[in-house]
Chains A and B, each alone.
Chain A
Amino acid sequence: MFTWETLCSRWCLVTSHKLYSSVYDPNEKTFEKLLIANRGEIACRVIKTCKKMGIKTVAIHSDVDANAVHVKMADEAVCVGPAPTSKSYLNMDAIMEVIRKMGAQAVHPGYGFLSENKEFARRLASEGVTFIGPDTHAIQAMGDKIESKLLAKNAKVNTIPGFDGVVKDADEAVRIAREIGYPVMIKASAGGGGKGMRIAWDDEETREGFRFSSQEAASSFGDDRLLIEKFIDNPRHIEIQVLADKHGNALWLNERECSIQRRNQKVVEEAPSTFLDPETRRAMGEQAVALAKAVKYSSAGTVEFLVDSSKNFYFLEMNTRLQVEHPVTECITGLDLVQEMIRVAKGYPLRHKQADIPINGWAVECRVYAEDPYKSFGLPSIGKLSQYQEPLHVPSVRVDSGIQQGSDISIYYDPMISKLITYGSNRAEALKRMEEALDNYVIRGVAHNISLLREVIVHPRFVQGDISTKFLPEVYPDGFKGHKLTDLERRQLLATAVSLYVVEQLRSQRFLGTPRIPIAKSKRSSWELSVHLGDGIYPVAVSKDGSSFSVEVDGMKLNVTSEWNLASPLLSVTIDGTQRTIQRISRNASGETSIQFLGTVYKLQILTKVAAELSKYMPEKAAEDTSSILRSPMPGTVVAVSVKPGDMVSEGQEICVIEAMKMQNSMIAAKTGKVSHLRSLKTICNLSNRIEFKKEKRRILVVKELSLIVVSLSK
């Protein structure tokens, strides 16, 4: 007889990831029940493997996640607290309580949250619950930047050569710099981030850098220490996946190239890297394994390296958890990393030898985020996914997601929608499929970064493999503006848009049944239209021939054919033999339509020639002057307010800081003026996206959907 559980697990067997081939040995004893201390896609990912292995799963969730996908997928689910992560997914007491109550034998922490929390690992150990990850010692050692670097040095892992301490004079600085090798970076030790950082390429510049930096160190920080470090020009971020067991075996599972980043967050990852040759790969892998062995590492882990243009690599840090981008490694090696982690945690030795680890084909992963890529490469957006359809009909596509149509993207958690992974026998094939997958991905209701992802993967520099961590700011120095249409592409877009318009117009004349007053059938077969796209107005002539259209734009004739299904979110169109998948995002009676074409959404207005001519008589409506109002670009919580009513502020001055989805944003005055009033509000955003405002002592701003007036400036 089938029970619900067996049905579910059988279903999962059938539909589980196509892209890894780890065999599950049903005779191997494993945990009976496992708790996943995480949410979203990674919780779903772990549950999938658990189902395959026949392990019962317990999900935890916050109250806003009660209907989340991971909750539905798990065999059991328990609420551990309200929406803020500190009270739910980070609430160790509540999670420990659930573990005891549900009788979970092991805990998989996923990534983020408690995955690298040694206290959590310690508490689990003290209660005899297995933590699926390395032991406390390794977490602690690798969690400390200085200690991990020291350990790495001792394990003969390349580290960035440098000096941190008091430098007596310029000569000493030069001596240190020569020892390290040019170029070097000089800055005050106390200064955070890249502040006051100077790059020196020779002795002269070193002396100069020393003078400025030591002055700054003394005056700004009152701390004489300087940091002189090897400067890595155009670095790549390449990491090695390691897998170790409790019996002293460790493997390196090849590298992942994660150089495409914005604000130190990875956006596009791939495995293998175009840059590494087998020797470098082996050297990096062996050093990574050496480090893992040095800390008696068990489970899956990642050793991150910076690689310079001459293939010198330097240890950055080690992540003692499953990485977000682990699927690309799974694709090329065929291993199920979660399964291996569970086996290792249960105490089994690794089944593979280093020689068994292949590089089969190429895999690319794009992180699809709910964010607006036109604002500093991605500012979070929230909302309900009114339509959502993953491109699983495209071959060799894997989508790791924890959401579904109707899910809310809330301000409380990471705005990641999914990880889109494509696989091919070579890089070109994987990228081609990625392009197709991105075009076929339907996400409505929230802003998303598909346009940016699609631009990156077709950019000539990316295609050639010429990338570094500075790729995005270098390629888009003025910010990302969406795809730039070539003349041909513009004609294709116009032709598709007007064809759709005509199809819609013709359909609105087709009524079913026999009306009392006969309908005057239009015999029209050609239309003269005027399309407004961007700054241009394009006259377009369309004529219909069966189900295809002949469209004349800029004196060129294009032939457009399609099935013209106006209800489907995806539309496959063939324009003069070129196949394109487009998405019509919206349309209205005023002729306005927005179409996603080559990843970017274009707004068009299509009018008949007569209407277009008359539209010049229509009054131009002045846009609202928003410069005296400060609006938050996204919903969030105000963590600091730097002004009070009555203060004079100048243009560009910071007014407050908003935190949303793990990001702090400084809100800046758009013009000079006086702060007339501030509102003190707090938001609580719940599942249904209603925002409640509560008066609080703390000045907290909040924001519904897009805007709430926070500060008014007056002259």
Chain B
Amino acid sequence: MHLYPVEKSLQLFPFSCGSAAPTVSLLFRVWLPLCLFLRRIITTQAISSFGGLQLLNGPSVADQGKLTARERILLLLDPDSFDEYDMFVEHRCTDFGMDSSKNKYPGDSVVTGRGRINGRLAYVFSQDFTVFGGSLSGVHAQKICKIMDQAAMVGAPVIGLNDSGGARIQEGVESLAGYADIFLRNVLCSGVIPQISLIMGPCAGGAVYSPALTDFTFMVKDTSYLFITGPDVVKSVTNEDVTQEQLGGAKTHTAVSGVAHRAFENDIDALLNLREFFNYLPLSNRDPAPVCECHDPSDRPVPELDTIVPSESTKAYDMLDIVHSIVDEREFFEIMPTYARNIVVGFARMNGRTVGIVGNQPKVASGCLDINSSVKGARFVRFCDAFNIPLITFVDVPGFLPGTAQEYGGIIRHGAKLLFAFAEATVPKITVITRKAYGGAYDVMSSKHLRGDVNYAWPTAEVAVMGAKGAVQIIFRGKEADAEEEYVDKFANPFPAAMRGFVDDIIQPSTTRARICHDLDVLASKSQSSPWKKHANIPL
């Protein structure tokens, strides 16, 4: 239990208790009321800091394996760095006996404020499930909006720790208005400051759209749920039997729906990981990607890369092996590791500087692009572009996945998102073709033609319209037997692309890290703009 320190609240008052000996009249006229008043402040703060825990019959968070709202803030932020806002705010509802003193909690069902994560500023709200199930009242929304406004103004990220039963039903439309106020701010802040949601309990109904609008949504395994309608409603409407976990648990959203970006074991694990994740992000779109102290030499050769791509082009390898060996200290914060695994996205550092990594994963579905992987990649690329994070793309893509399921699902429209995102991005873009770069997918994957700044090919690269077998069948209608070899000679190598300047250099794989680090240093001062527009019209 983290109590607001009494000494700190005393500092709010510029009066010194130990000044000159008070006269009797001074005592009665000033000190006594002040003492009573001070007592009220301190008591209110104490009550607020207990949230709903003061009620013996309140729901016990410990039994559910959850931490309280304040404990979460305590773990998320640097020690003694939290400055709380609106501790005295109370809800204004008078219906259904809500105006009775036992239904009033100073601070209401959310704790808001600002603090530091590894010394860097962050705004935080943490919903308090112990007060009316963390339900969203008008003032609850007002408190969140206040810190969001200030965060946008100052240029610092907002982190939401969501644990709320939904709207405060007693407040009716006031609660809905509160949601909309938050949504609007989520949208206005999008691309201005990073917004992160960590779902640490239920989050249902309209409330889910706030996390959905933020840049990253993380979940806690087994204790958090996200859904539009709960299992009971589902049963009554579609007669489906489904559990909370199946419908909107961490596994569902990280592996099936792609709503959440990552899930963690428990509250502590999630908060500690969030601290680490925060270090990759710039504070706002006005700031460059952060550069940390790095012990890993930027020119470190990576000998294993010379043999990592199998000699047979049909054999798979793990793109994560390449990523881990190239980035600083093998540390890679993967985003959506269990969703659309045929593309790998995530944050890492190169010589200390945050970079966004995008890579086709030959180990899963040959690394082809399909609907899910295109959308996953596109959103990540756009985040990096919005927040000045350089993009490094590793290409081994046999093309887009064919089939009715994909065509009916709109692969054209969804694939266009990734193309759009890469083309539109003006951050430094470095591309390494490790093996296949076939067909339209070659163009999509941060090619030279989409304003790639530095495009490398490994000696194993094959840049062609399609695989040799298919190409020969079309060109010669199967009449030429040795034409396949000719096609392989001509296109299954990086020369045709290099001769035309579509790749800048064919590099020894073991030098990739050194080359990229060097390029990033040069490209740090890159400036590129697109024609004026209100906003682009990405094919949603």
Contact = CB atoms under 8 A, between A and B. Distances in A.
A405 B283 contact: no
Interface in A400-422: 404-407
B295 A565 contact: yes
B295 A568 contact: yes
Interface in B250-309: 265-269, 272-273, 275-277, 279, 283-284, 286-288, 290-297, 303-308
Contacts of A591: 272
Contact of A67 (B71, B288, B307): B307
Contacts of B74: 610
A664 to B, nearest CB: 29
Given A520-B81, A567-B328, A614 B67 contact: yes
A488 interface: no
Interface stretch (A47-55, A305-313, A489-497, A507-515): A507-515
Contact of A405 (B116, B304, B363): B304
Given A515-B120, A615-B268, A687 B294 contact: no
A619 B78 contact: no
B272 A515 contact: no
A222 B316 CA distance: 55
B303 A404 contact: yes
Nearest to A385: B304
B293 A512 contact: yes
Contacts of B78: 520, 522
A515 B316 contact: no
B116 A520 contact: yes
A517 interface: yes
Contacts of B325: 386
A517 B284 CA distance: 10
Contact of B222 (A507, A615, A621): A621
Interface string B125-151: 000000000000000000000000000
A567 B294 contact: yes
B315 interface: yes
A566 interface: yes
A544 to B, nearest CB: 15
Interface in B463-519: none
A517 B118 CA distance: 13
Given A610-B75, A615-B268, A618-B65, A406 B363 contact: no
A289 B230 CA distance: 86
B293 A515 contact: no
Please tell me the size bucket of the interface on B: 35 or more
Given A568-B295, A611-B75, A517 B268 contact: no
Nearest to A615: B268
Interface in A566-622: 566-568, 588-591, 607, 610-611, 614-615, 617-619, 621
Contacts of B308: 406
Contacts of A690: 315-317, 363
B120 A510 contact: no
A297 B121 CA distance: 80
Given A406-B307, A516-B286, A590-B273, A617 B292 contact: no
A590 B268 CA distance: 8
A521 interface: yes
Given A513-B291, A515-B283, A619-B65, A521 B119 contact: yes
A404 B267 CA distance: 41
Nearest to B264: A590
A507 B292 contact: yes
A566 B311 CA distance: 35
A710 B79 CA distance: 50
A244 B127 CA distance: 84
Contacts of A407: 304, 307
Given A589-B275, A610-B75, A690-B363, A519 B120 contact: yes
A567 B295 contact: yes
Interface in A665-715: 686-690
A384 interface: yes
A566 B297 CA distance: 11
A66 interface: yes
Contacts of B156: 517
A687 B311 CA distance: 9
A642 B311 CA distance: 39
B283 to A, nearest CB: 6
Nearest to B363: A690
B398 to A, nearest CB: 15
A405 B61 CA distance: 49
B353 to A, nearest CB: 9
Contacts of B329: 566-567
Contacts of B61: 617
B107 interface: no
B287 A619 contact: no
A15 B378 CA distance: 51
A519 B283 CA distance: 11
Interface string B348-385: 00001000000000010000000000000000000000
A77 to B, nearest CB: 13
A614 B65 CA distance: 10
B265 A509 contact: no
A201 to B, nearest CB: 58
Nearest to A564: B295
Given A567-B294, A590-B265, A516 B283 contact: yes
B273 A589 contact: yes
Given A66-B311, A67-B311, A405-B304, A516 B155 contact: yes
Contacts of A66: 311
Interface string B1-13: 0000000000000
B359 to A, nearest CB: 15
B40 interface: no
B205 interface: no
Contacts of B119: 509, 511, 519-522
Given A511-B290, A515-B283, A589-B276, A406 B295 contact: no
Contact of B118 (A385, A508, A568): A508
Most interface-central of A507, A513, A611 (chain B CB within 10 A): A611
Nearest to A384: B321
B272 A517 contact: no
B287 A515 contact: yes
Contacts of A688: 310, 315-318
Nearest to B277: A589
B511 to A, nearest CB: 15
A406 B301 CA distance: 13
A607 B268 CA distance: 10
Given A567-B328, A621-B222, A690-B363, A590 B288 contact: no
Given A66-B311, A520-B116, A618 B316 contact: no
A524 B116 CA distance: 14
A686 B315 CA distance: 8
A435 to B, nearest CB: 27
A7 to B, nearest CB: 18
B455 interface: no
B45 interface: no
Nearest to B120: A519
Interface in A615-652: 615, 617-619, 621
B223 interface: yes
**When A and B form their complex, which 8 residue pairs have the shortest distance between CB atoms, in order from nearest?**
A406-B304, A619-B65, A589-B276, A567-B296, A567-B295, A519-B119, A688-B317, A67-B307
11 contacts: A511-B291, A512-B352, A517-B155, A517-B156, A520-B81, A567-B294, A567-B328, A589-B269, A589-B275, A689-B317, A690-B315
Given A614-B71, A688-B317, 20 more contacts: A66-B311, A67-B307, A386-B324, A404-B304, A405-B303, A406-B303, A406-B306, A406-B308, A508-B276, A509-B118, A517-B120, A522-B119, A524-B79, A589-B276, A590-B265, A590-B268, A590-B269, A590-B272, A619-B223, A686-B310
Interface of B: 61-62, 64-67, 71, 74-75, 78-79, 81, 116, 118-121, 154-156, 222-223, 265-269, 272-273, 275-277, 279, 283-284, 286-288, 290-297, 303-308, 310-311, 315-318, 321, 324-325, 328-330, 352, 363
